[in-house]
Amino acid sequence: MSYNNQRIAYGNTLVELGKDDPRIVVLDADLGGSTMGKMFEQAYPERHFEMGIAEADMTSVAAGLAQTGKIPFTNSFAAFAAGRAYDQIRQTIAIGKLNVKICGSSSGLSDFGDGATHQCVEDMAIMRAIPNMTVLCPADANETVEAVKAMARMQGPCYIRLNRNDYENVTKEGEPFKIGVPKVLKDGHDVAVFATGYMVGEAMKAAEELEGKISVKVINISTIKPLNAEAVLEAAGDCRAIVTAEEHSVLCGLGSAISEVLCKDPRPIEFVGVQDTFGCSAHNYKELLDYFGLNAEKVKEAVEKMAAY
Amino acid sequence: MGYDRQLINRLENMAKQIRRDIVTCVGVGVAGHIGGSNSSADIVTALYFYKMKHDPSNPQMKERDRFLLSKGHVGILQYSALAESGYFPVEDLKHVKELGFYLQGHPDVIKTPGIEAGTGSLGQGLSIGLGMALGQKLDGLDSKTYVLVGDGEIAEGQIWEAAMAASAFHADNLVAIVDRNRLQANGKVKERFDSGDIIAKFLSFGWNVIEIDGHNMEEILTALDAADEVKGIPTVIVANTVKGKGLSFAENVVGYHNGTLTEDTYRQAMEELA
């Protein structure tokens, strides 16, 4: 079954996982209608916990459930899942390597209407800084299905960030997914674009538009942590410059993670992302992305600039 | 309810032994949480040596009752109870907080056998305990989860999130124990940040409330047993205690929240607990 929305893919995948595995439990904080935790609630009401508008409690309760052998998924908007519950995640889940899965829904700018309070452009930064944490950011709905299955299979804490809106898939349905393995979606030898989440599709569009002029390699980094340094170095190959693209602050997200690796084999890097600022409200997603320079056109400009090196 | 005098004697002696172990953990010249360990010592003794189903040779036994130290800074109290139960050697208590050792300043679920979850950032243990209680219910177990919280700690808002949630989920297998020693790190709870009428607060959150003298072993056992009889709502035992109990120089002294023993006070402590 193919979806064109990460939340829908997530909700359906949880239901599918829950069918065969009674250890799967799901917790929501009054946003189940948006996170799609409601789908699990409808399918397995006895294994869904409505924790009220209390994300800190929800997160610690999940820790307790994990310690009785359950595989809890906690859902909220990324701003609350990663932000409000940071201390609960750090103290009990991450230090103890507990088997809790945290879903940061409506991440990045994807909750376009709600403005800065709800648009989390720093969740990957927060989660990446925590030892023992795995951080996933799938490119699209297809990859979300496989990523959620992989996070349920792995042992230990894992954060996944998901987009709120509908958009076209750039990866294939049912493609095998392994945590920590970057995927080259398009080969090239001038400039390598490392992209994550929604920006993977924009990077692909940019690469196609530049076809014949600049040879652009596009790499999908859907595991932000652990970042496979060897694979990143190999993917960068002999490209003479690098572009990173993420719907996240350019500080401490994908761009920083890639830089931390490529400083061992240095070459110029341009960062496409939110430039250390908060989001704001807009009437539609595309308009907001354009305002913050998160589109194929900006990736293209960055590639052209870097190709001049 | 009457308890066998021998049982009470045995538990009182164990509580005294645990207080000696606490002093051993702290040692001389290194700060340790003496005050709050001693105020909770009788309660924790009753849990480990009377009330809880647990097996030191099989810490992961599925049917076990669980204990969470939400006031994680008194880890040395839990280590003493675990060591005396047989989870690890009593001699190891001398090495608490040594670099690289398995007995950390706060409970560590990976490093130390018998610890159910890491605690230390205050206010989170009741939520973690609720998660365990819900897990026990999902597994159809007739097991309980006990959570010890401090009366200073309940300033943390998450305690009240958990209090609401435990009621909403009818978690009658969750028992909170508030160690009401009336002191926090920087002074009297009433003066620093008044936690008000704890009993009325928990009652209004839909809990069964039992108030006891937290140093009277018979009252502790009675309360723990009474909690078994309550169906449909969680129980909180509000235990009135004395911070530093058992050490004349430390009783009700704020400075012994995280205090240091000299060779003289160490010797005096051991003599008073002999």
Residue spans per domain, chain B: 5-272
| Nearest residue on chain A to B64, alpha-carbon basis | A68
CATH number at residue A95: 3.40.50.970
Give the range of the structural domain holding residue A91, as residue numbers without chain letter. Answer: 6-161
Mark which residues 66-85 of B lie under 8 Å from A by CB: none
Catalytic-role residue among A41, A46, A50, A55: A55
- Residue A169 is predicted with a pLDDT of 98
Distance from CA of B117 to the nearest CA of A (A): 7
Q: Where are the alpha helices (DSSP H) in chain A?
A: 6-20, 32-35, 37-43, 55-66, 78, 86-88, 123-128, 141-153, 199-209, 229-236, 254-262, 285-291, 296-307
The mean of the pLDDT values for chain A is 98
As a whole number of Å, the CA-based R_g of chain A is: 18
- A91 contacts on B by Cβ (under 8 Å): 118-121, 124
What is the DSSP-derived secondary structure letter of residue B193?
A: S
A55 as an active site residue: the answer is yes
Proportion of chain A in helix, strand, coil states, percent, rounded to 5:
40, 20, 40
> Does any domain span residue A171?
no
What's the pLDDT score for residue B1?
58
Q: Do B131 and A68 touch (CB under 8 A)?
A: yes
Q: How far apart are the first and last CA of chain A?
A: 44
Model pTM?
0.97
| Per-residue CA distances from A22 to A28, B80, B119, B138, B139 (Å) | 18, 37, 28, 10, 10
Residue of B65, B106, B127, B141 best to disrupt the A interface, most CBs of A under 10 A: B127
Minimal Cβ distance to B131: which of A52, A56, A64? A64
Same domain for A114 and A226: no
Q: How far A305 CA lies from chain B's nearest CA (Å)?
A: 48
Q: Is B105 on the interface with A (CB under 8 A)?
A: no
Neighbouring C-beta atoms of residue B155, cutoff 10 Å:
17
A70 touching chain B per CB within 8 A: yes
Query: Is residue A118 situated within a structural domain?
Result: yes
Residue A121 inside a domain? The answer is yes
**What's the token pair of residue A295?**
């589109």
B131 and A63 within 8 Å at the Cβ level: the answer is yes
**Domain-embedded: residue A235:** yes
Provide the residue-wise pLDDT of chain B in tens; the chain has 274 residues: 589 999 999 999 999 999 999 999 999 999 999 999 999 999 999 999 999 999 999 999 999 999 999 999 999 999 999 999 999 999 999 999 999 999 999 999 999 999 999 999 999 999 999 999 999 999 999 999 999 999 999 999 999 999 999 999 999 999 999 999 999 999 999 999 999 999 999 999 999 999 999 999 999 999 999 999 999 999 999 999 999 999 999 999 999 999 999 999 999 999 999 9
| Helices and strands: H and E segment counts in chain A | 13, 12
CA angle A124, B135, A225 (to 5 degrees): 20
Specify whether A153 is located in the same domain as A216: no
A60·B132 Cβ contact <8 A: no
Q: Could you tell me if A144 and A200 lie in one domain?
A: no
Residue A309: what pLDDT? Answer: 86
Number of domains in chain A: 2
In this structure, are A188 and A57 located in the same domain? no
3.40.50.920, 3.40.462.20, 3.40.30.10, 3.40.50.970: CATH of B5-272? 3.40.50.970
Question: What type of residue is B51?
Answer: K
Any alpha helices (H) in chain B, and if so which ranges? 5-26, 34-46, 75-85, 125-138, 157-168, 189-192, 198-204, 217-228, 263-272
For B200, other C-beta atoms within 10 Å of its C-beta total 10
Residues A142 and A247 placed together within one structural domain of the fold: no
* CATH code for position A220: 3.40.50.920
A264 CB contacts (<8 Å, ≥6 apart)? Answer: A229, A233
